[in-house]
Structure formats: structure tokens, C-alpha cells
Amino acid sequence: MMSSSTEHNYETKSYDVIVIGAGGAGLRAAIEASAQGASVALVTKSLLGKAHTVMAEGGMAAALGNLDAADGWVPHFKDSIRGGKYMNNWRMAQIHAEEAPERVKELELWGAVFDRTPDGRILQRAFGGHTYRRLAHVGDRTGLELIRTLQDKGIHCGIDVFMECTITNLLAEEGQVAGAFGYWRESGRFILFKGKSIVMASGGIGKAFEVTSNSWEYTGDGQAMAMAIGAELIDMEFLQFHPTGMVCPASVKGILVTEAVRGEGGKLTNALGERFMKNYDPERMELSTRDIVAKAIYAEVRDGRGSPNGGVFLDISHRGADYIKRKLPSMYHQFLELGDVDITKGPMEVGPTMHYTMGGIRVHPETQESPTVKGLFAAGECSGGMHGANRLGGNSLSDLIVFGRRAGLYAAEFAKQQTEMLPIDNEKVKAYAQALVEPFERKGTETPYPIHAELQHLMHTKVGIVREEKFLKEAIAELAGLRERAKKARVDGSRAYNPGWHLAHDLINMIDASEIVAKSALQREDSRGGHTRLDYNFSDDKVWRHRTSVASRAEDGTLTVGYFDKPQMPKELVALFDKAEEKTAFETEGKF
Amino acid sequence: MMMIVSDAHTNRVANFHVFRGNPDANGEHIGEVVNYEVPLKPGWVVLDAIHWIQANKQPDLAVRWNCKAAKCGSCSAEINGLPSLMCKTRLDHMPADKPIIVKPMKTFPLIKDLVTDVSWNYEVNKKIKPFTPANNNVDTWRYFQQDADRVQEFRKCIECFICQDTCHVLRHHSKFDKFFGPRFMIRLAQLEFHPLDVADRLKFIKEEAGIGFCNITKCCTDRCPEQIRITDNGIIPLKERVVDRFYDPITMLLSKIGLG
């Protein structure tokens, strides 16, 4: 057991820019900051190339127009806003649609090998909510292509990569970042990074849920750390339940089944053999947006029309074995090896799985800087605003590279303007170090693992795909109980590569994020996208359409959840939307 | 087709012999195998059992994993002696009456328990000249799916380093300073076969990467969880290019008399 010493040694490193998280957004930010001449530390909880980005499958949305010449930033922008139920930060959605094609081409320049059109250009596939065939892809392993391309580019850019290094606290002085503190997972030794600017690129919060497609890293660290130094979180009630996760056997429940299955022509049926999407979105059917398909599956199962294992059927076998093995190779192997199902011969069973956090750290739409903490930038899933109430499939990978680049660019610019590093408050660092080793001194009987399991079950049942005031209030009360238990959870062994110790810390971050999701969800008396209230089963276009939820913490840790008026889209962009189209974006809400 | 899960092997208690230990000063694996009785559930993979042990018996048991979906390549270990992904090894496909032995990858220095230090691989990758296109005007680039196919097979690699663990040149002979291993042979093959890459890496492949050390036993191919035909499609064609350049008798003769 670790002795309780009040003296904690740590090594100190200094960089212009500290990037926390090495998925698509973090890598792209680091590459850009480095290209601007900044010295860059890229700090990741995992090995390089293993971040959650690697699991993305279907593709990245960019209006290249390689197949459909009518595509351009305007249709992509409109699709993103419609899909987001008009809750997106309009400027982020615009920048994203405008810049995604350049970013995708840049990946090709750096060695990415996308699937090709017959005339040798980047192939694009159809996806839910996208008017045109828009997703550049590599079979069903596009995330791997993205992260490997950025990884192989990044290692030649002079970036210092800190693998298996967990950041636990940010340091700030008078509203400006000064550094980041954490530990090496291998040894448990502490490390302090002094920095002029910080890019948070730490991903989402999916591991607070029982059935999720997310990897273990998604514990809400970035959100919690950023809030602790004064950043705000927005839109946290909007969670994306991907319609198609594996449902059986139990050990694979939640593993993603790419939307590309539907993009390539997969059909959804219920136990009666009906293509039930005709009852929810007859025009777009299986290629409706994810929120609608997920809730349709939920409703089919609830009403007794589900498959034997509590999902629905998804069938692509009519496309033929050769085509399936070429375009969906990972799905083919995943079902064959983990589920004993040959998808070239018959249907898969699928059901909703917690997949994506639309909300996140509030940022300036152009610079990605927090409006409340100078020098703190955020990009990718840990940031909020781009996707509104529901993200379109394919818009995440493009988000990573568009806003990852911007965060890196402006973080480097910010760093250039600082003449020197801000001083580090050693007393704070000591307190953070002491808090990290404190769990070793606890005498309780409970480890963090059962508390984590209970948290996941609670969030799934009471703050999940559909919500009600009664259950949200219960969840908030139960979260307080879980927090008290988490603070007492026992940690065994030493600081060397100790998953129990790691979880003891991550668990608090998950509970923090869960509380904010539950409180934001309780506040929003409205249903739209990734937030559905059975007791407010409609989209409230008068009041809640114009409000963005926001959460912040006082210095003593007190949480406040409120809202602000969503920025208004300028007239020339409003003019792009037609009112009839807008109506159809909402009329499905009452059907669940 | 309906999913069928057999109960025969799944509602049972299995014995897991899991390596627990720490490295000595040289990274050698010093420790012991500890037995854990684990009640199995249908469809479980080895990683599920390891997680059960963490949650119920041994909270500090060290294991490296990320996605538990065979996409990230983090949870490589040796299961009953075979380098494998823990997230992809089904328990109901294994004998019911024998213990399941889980050990860390032998080829790499130990960090703790099932976690090894694979940083050598990241250092090797840095030595490889990255993708070098003939021009930067991507709007003019055209190449076809048949060309992409050859490269994409290698780009499926999830860097689990199971091939490196398996390769006897590294595993038994520790030629870490002379041979890059199968993972980086296919990284090199991927670059060499990219239709738009113009860099010449053949001398490097021969001298720095040490392709000659591979004697085509194909063990790496057998264990690749992505089913990349590492040897047949990657290493052998690279060897042919190296032979054509450096060992062709006519070329050798011409270069000897100053005409090559």
C-alpha cells in the first residue's frame, strides 16, 4: 500500500500548447499548433492511435460533390441544422459545412486511402439525414483511417506525445490557463505541464451508461476539468442513442453496428416483418436521422413488436455476400465472430446504444476558445454547439478535423501572444496530488467497480432514451448517493498501472457529467433530437427552441444549470430554409 | 437467421490462470500465475472474464484495453499460449474442462500483470519515411479501387502488435535493433504500393528495416486478427522488389563495372 506522504514529487514540462486527448480532434489540433511554430505536448490516456475515433465506422461527411454535383456547403449546412432540430450553433454548422471538404482532401494528401469512384476520385456514400451521397469512407473502418493518417503525420511534426498519461486537473490563474496536472498510468508518478494554452479534446461521457458503443476513455474528464476552472457546458441534455447497436449476446450489447448498413441499403423490420420506419418517417425510411430511428426502435420494442432479444431486425443480406464483405467487412466479422450470425445470409438483431454527447464545453464558434477561460480551447465531442440536439452520422469525423484544426490554430496564436508562462500555484498542485493518493488511505469495503455499474444502470434506466420528470428527479437524488459512495471507494495495491485507482478518479467525473445531463434534461420541458420527455412529448417552438442549456460551477464546486438565448441565425441564412421543411423536422416527436 | 447461443459452455464456472507480476530491471516478466474461478455468461470473451476478476476479486489487476470491439488493438495477450485479442476470444469456443491461461505478450518488456511496454513499435514507426506524393494538388489525383484495394488491406492494421509478438525473429532472437517486424513490413508495403507515393524506401527496407530476417514462416499471418495476409501480400512482394534492385545478377554486374 502507498504510504500517505504529504510531500509529492512530480516532474515538470513546459510547452506553448498542451493538447489533452489524441483522437481525431486532438491529433489534428496538435498538428496545426505545431505547424504554426508552437511547441506542443499531446497527452493521451491511451496508446497513440487507440482513441475512440478508431471505432468510427461509416464515414466523414463533406460536400465534395464527387457523386452528386448539386451538393455544396449550403445543403450540408441545412441538413446539419435540420438534423440538429435547429438547436445548433449556426456559425459552427456553417464553418463545418464550408471547411469539411478541404480537411478531407488534406487527409488524402497525408496518405489516407479512401474508397474510390469509378473515375478514381473519393467515393461518397448515403447516410441518414444527408440529402446527397456525402460520406467519404473506407469500407466500415473510416475512423481507423482517420486516426492512423493523423498519427503517421503527427509523429513527423515534432510533437511530444505523452502516452498513457492521465490529466486530472487544469491550472488557471485569474481566468487564464497556466497548466495541467496528472499522472503516468504506468508508474502512477505525477507530472505537471506548464503551458500557455490548452486544447481539450477528451471526448464524451458514454461510459456513464450501461449500453454504449463508447470505449472506456469516455468518462467526461475534459468536461469536469474545464468546468473546475470556470468553463461552461452547454446542451448536455442532448445525448445520441445510436439506433443500431448489437443486442446479443449480453457481452457485446451496445457494440456499434454502423449506419453504413442502412446507407448501403439495409432494411429495418419488426417481429411482424413490417418495415416499421414507414410509420415514423415514410419519406426517408431507414435513412431518417438517428434520433428518430432510435426512438422508433425503442417504441417498437416497448409495444411488443421487438425481436426475441429486445431489438429489431436489420437485414442487408439482399446485397449479396461479395458486396457486404467488401463494403462492410468489419460488420461481417463482428457478427460472425462475436454474435454467431452471418449477415450475408440473414438479419442482425439491433437496438439503441448510447453513442455520442452532443453537448459539451462552450466555445467561440470560430476560435474554439472558451468565452469564460482565456487560453482554454476545446474541439470534437467534448465541445458543444456544432450538432445541436442531434448529430448527423458522418458529421463527427468531419467535426474533429475542422474544429481540431481551428482549435490548434487559435491555441497557437494565443500562445504566441503570451510573453511568458503564468506562474503555477504549488499549493494547488500539492492539493491535487494529495487528492489523487487519498483513495489509498480509505478503509471502506466497496471498490469503485460496483458503484460504476450502478451508475451505468441508473443513467440507462432513468436518464436514457426517454425521460420523465419523476425519474429524472429520482436519478438526481440517487446520483448524490452514488457520489458519497464514490468518495469512500477503496483502492487496493500500488500506484503502478492500477485500474481500480484510475476508475476511482474517473468515476467522480462520470458522476459530475451525469448530474449535469440529468439536471439539463429536467430543465428542458420539450422533446427534440437526443432529448425526449414523455411528459412533454412535443417540440416547443415558442420557448425551448430558442434556449440553450448551460451549466457552470462556482469556485466552491456548486453547480448551476440554467439557459441562455440561442444566438440567432442571420437573415441570409434563415432565408435558405423553407417553412414546410422545418415542420417535418418536428412532426415525428409525437409518435413515440 | 436467428442468433443462437449455446448454453452448454456458458453457464459454467471456468478457471482462469492469469499472470500477475512486475518486471525486473531488464523488463523480464517476474511473477506467478494466479487462479480465479469465474462464473461465465453467454457470449463472453476473455476480456469479460478479466473485467469480472477486476470488479470482484482483484481491483488492481492491470490490463490494457479500450474498445472491447476488436477495433483498437489494445488488449493483446497470450491466451492458452496463442497471441490473441482478449476482446475477440470467445469462451464458449474453448474447452470447458481446462483452465484458460492468460499471460502478457512475451516479446515485450513487462509493465505489470497483462500489460507490456510496446513503445519500441512507436519508435520504429518514426524511422519510416512517411507518404510522399508526386504533387500536392489532390484535386487532380485519380486512382482506382483496384489500386486502393492492395493498400487498404494493409491499412486495416489495428496495431495490436500480435504479429510482432508472434514473430520468432523478435520473440526468440530479440533482433529489435535489426528487424522492424511484420507490422512495419506492411506499413512499408502500404507506402511502397500506394499508387501516388514516389519515395524510394528499398535500400532502407533492406538495410534498416532488415527484411532479410523474415524467413517466411507466416506465423504472423496466422495470428493477425484483421486477417491481413502479411507475408504473402506484404513481405514477399517487398522482398521481390529488394531482390530485383540489389541482387539481380545483371544489375549487379553492370554496377560492378560502373554502368549500373
Does B61 contact chain A (CB < 8 Å)?
Answer: yes
Could you tell me if residue B255 is inside a domain? no
B73 → chain A, closest CA residue = A50
Interchain contact, B59 vs A346, CB within 8 Å: no
Best mutation target, B2, B3, B74, B76, to test chain A (most A CBs within 10 A) = B3
Chain centre distance of CA B193: 20
Residues of chain A with C-beta less than 8 angstroms from the C-beta of B72: 46, 49-50, 54-55, 215
Residues of chain A with C-beta less than 8 angstroms from the C-beta of B136: 109
Identify residue A561 by its one-letter amino acid code.
V
Residues of chain B with C-beta less than 8 angstroms from the C-beta of A309: 3
Do B136 and B100 share a domain, yes or no? no
CB pairs under 8 A between A and B: 193
- From the CB of residue A4, how many other CB atoms can be counted at a distance below 10 Å? 10
* Low-confidence residues of chain B: pLDDT under 70: 1-11, 259-260
DSSP A486-500: HHH----S-STT-HH
Backbone angles phi, psi at A184, to 5 degrees: -80, 130
Do B194 and B219 share a domain, yes or no? yes
- From the CB of residue B254, how many other CB atoms can be counted at a distance below 10 Å? 12
Could you tell me if residue B1 is inside a domain? no
Could you tell me if residue B2 is inside a domain? no
Q: Among candidates A525, A59, A97, A1, which has minimal Cα distance to A330?
A: A59
- From the CB of residue B255, how many other CB atoms can be counted at a distance below 10 Å? 12
Identify residue A553 by its one-letter amino acid code.
R
Could you tell me if residue B69 is inside a domain? yes
* Helix B119-127, helix B182-192: angle, nearest 10: 30
Do B195 and B239 share a domain, yes or no? yes
Nearest to B152 among A47, A113, A120 (CB): A113
Interchain contact, B118 vs A113, CB within 8 Å: no
Interchain contact, B133 vs A342, CB within 8 Å: no
The residue from B64, B83, B116 where one domain ends is: B116
Distances (CA, A) of A54 to A57, A148, A181, B156: 8, 8, 26, 11
Gap from A397 CA to chain B (nearest CA, Å): 16
User: What secondary structure letter does DSSP report for A52?
Assistant: G
Identify residue B16 by its one-letter amino acid code.
F
CB–CB of A309/A261 below 8 Å? no
User: What secondary structure letter does DSSP report for A346?
Assistant: S
Tally the domains of chain B: 2
Interchain contact, A116 vs B41, CB within 8 Å: no
Q: Hunting for cell 473510416 — which residue is that?
A: A142
Do B55 and B140 share a domain, yes or no? no
pLDDT of residue A585: 62
Do B124 and B209 share a domain, yes or no? yes
pLDDT of residue A7: 65
Does B30 contact chain A (CB < 8 Å)?
Answer: no
Gap from B183 CA to chain A (nearest CA, Å): 13
pLDDT of residue B97: 87
Interchain contact, B60 vs A337, CB within 8 Å: no
Give the structural domain span for B194.
119-250
Q: Hunting for cell 481446462 — which residue is that?
A: B98
User: What secondary structure letter does DSSP report for A198?
Assistant: E
CATH number at residue B54: 3.10.20.30
Backbone angles phi, psi at A561, to 5 degrees: -120, 125
Do B69 and B190 share a domain, yes or no? no
Residues of chain B with C-beta less than 8 angstroms from the C-beta of A49: 72, 159
Nearest to B44 among A251, A329, A345 (CB): A251
Do B76 and B186 share a domain, yes or no? no
A254 → chain B, closest CA residue = B69
The residue from B97, B116, B135 where one domain ends is: B116
CA separation for the pair B130, B133 (Å, rounded): 10
Interchain contact, B54 vs A501, CB within 8 Å: no
Residues of chain A with C-beta less than 8 angstroms from the C-beta of B56: 449
The residue from B93, B116, B139 where one domain ends is: B116
Interchain contact, A186 vs B143, CB within 8 Å: no
CB contacts under 8 A, B 117-136 vs A, are: 117-119, 122, 125-126, 130-131, 133, 136
Do B104 and B187 share a domain, yes or no? no
B115 → chain A, closest CA residue = A497
Gap from B67 CA to chain A (nearest CA, Å): 4
Looking at A63-164, list the stretches that DSSP marks H as alpha helix, in order from N- to C-terminal side. 73-83, 90-109, 142-154
Q: Hunting for cell 498501472 — which residue is that?
A: A497
* Low-confidence residues of chain A: pLDDT under 50: 1-6
Backbone angles phi, psi at A195, to 5 degrees: -155, 155
Which CATH number applies to A242-355: 3.30.70.20, 3.40.50.10740, 3.90.700.10, 3.90.226.10?
3.90.700.10
Residues of chain B with C-beta less than 8 angstroms from the C-beta of A153: 130
* Helix A448-462, helix B46-56: angle, nearest 10: 110
Nearest to B156 among A105, A141, A493 (CB): A141
B116 → chain A, closest CA residue = A186
Do B112 and B123 share a domain, yes or no? no
A122 → chain B, closest CA residue = B142
Q: How many residues does chain B have?
A: 260
The ipTM estimated for the assembled molecules is 0.94
CA separation for the pair A222, A168 (Å, rounded): 9
Best mutation target, B18, B22, B57, B67, to test chain A (most A CBs within 10 A) = B67
CATH number at residue B128: 1.10.1060.10
What whole-number percentage of chain B has pLDDT above 90?
Answer: 87
Gap from A577 CA to chain B (nearest CA, Å): 31
User: What secondary structure letter does DSSP report for A536?
Assistant: B
Could you tell me if residue B229 is inside a domain? yes
- From the CB of residue A580, how many other CB atoms can be counted at a distance below 10 Å? 7
Could you tell me if residue B147 is inside a domain? yes
Distances (CA, A) of B28 to A184, A466, B31, B104, B204: 21, 52, 10, 11, 31
Could you tell me if residue B171 is inside a domain? yes
Q: Hunting for cell 486544447 — which residue is that?
A: A199
pLDDT of residue B248: 84
Do B171 and B187 share a domain, yes or no? yes
CB–CB of B111/B137 below 8 Å? no
DSSP chain B: ------STTTSSEEEEEEEEEEE-TT--EEEEEEEEEEE--TT-BHHHHHHHHHHHT-TT-----S-SSSSS---EEEETTEEEETTT-BGGGS-TTSPEEEE--TTS-EEETTEE--HHHHHHHHHS----BS-S-GGG----HHHHHHHHHHHT-----HHHHH-HHHHTT--TTT---HHHHHHHHHHHT-TTB----HHHHHHTS-GGG-----HHHHH-TT---IIIIIIHHHHHHHHHHHT-HHHHHHHHTT--
Element (H, E) at A14: strand A10-20
pLDDT of residue A4: 42
CA separation for the pair A95, A116 (Å, rounded): 26
Q: Among candidates A589, A555, A583, A564, which has minimal Cα distance to A230?
A: A555
Best mutation target, B22, B60, B191, to test chain A (most A CBs within 10 A) = B60
Do B180 and B207 share a domain, yes or no? yes
Residues of chain B with C-beta less than 8 angstroms from the C-beta of A246: none
Interchain contact, B126 vs A155, CB within 8 Å: yes
Interchain contact, A333 vs B44, CB within 8 Å: no
Q: How many residues does chain A have?
A: 592
Interchain contact, B48 vs A115, CB within 8 Å: no
Interchain contact, B41 vs A251, CB within 8 Å: yes
Do B36 and B83 share a domain, yes or no? yes
Residues of chain A with C-beta less than 8 angstroms from the C-beta of B141: 108, 120-121
B50 → chain A, closest CA residue = A499
CA separation for the pair A287, A261 (Å, rounded): 10
Identify residue B96 by its one-letter amino acid code.
A
Interchain contact, B71 vs A144, CB within 8 Å: yes
Query: A135-136 and A124-125: which strand pairing?
Result: antiparallel
Q: Is A357 buried (19+), middle (13-18) or exposed (0-12) by CB count in 10 A?
A: buried
pLDDT of residue B40: 92
Does B98 contact chain A (CB < 8 Å)?
Answer: no
Q: Which tens digits make up the pLDDT trace of A504-522?
A: 999 999 999 999 999 999 9
Q: What are the domain boundaries of chain A?
A: 242-355, 430-546
Residues of chain A with C-beta less than 8 angstroms from the C-beta of B45: 251, 338
Does B243 contact chain A (CB < 8 Å)?
Answer: no
Interchain contact, B55 vs A447, CB within 8 Å: yes
A213 → chain B, closest CA residue = B67
Q: Which residues of A are catalytic?
A: 242, 262
B133 → chain A, closest CA residue = A109
Q: Among candidates A300, A254, A311, A266, which has minimal Cα distance to B3?
A: A311
Interchain contact, A50 vs B136, CB within 8 Å: no
User: Mean pLDDT in chain B?
Assistant: 93
Interchain contact, A110 vs B131, CB within 8 Å: yes
Residues of chain B with C-beta less than 8 angstroms from the C-beta of A121: 141-142
Instruction: Tell me the fold of A430-546.
Output: Methane Monooxygenase Hydroxylase; Chain G, domain 1 (1.20.58)
CA separation for the pair A313, A308 (Å, rounded): 10
Residues of chain A with C-beta less than 8 angstroms from the C-beta of B118: 47
CB–CB of A337/B227 below 8 Å? no
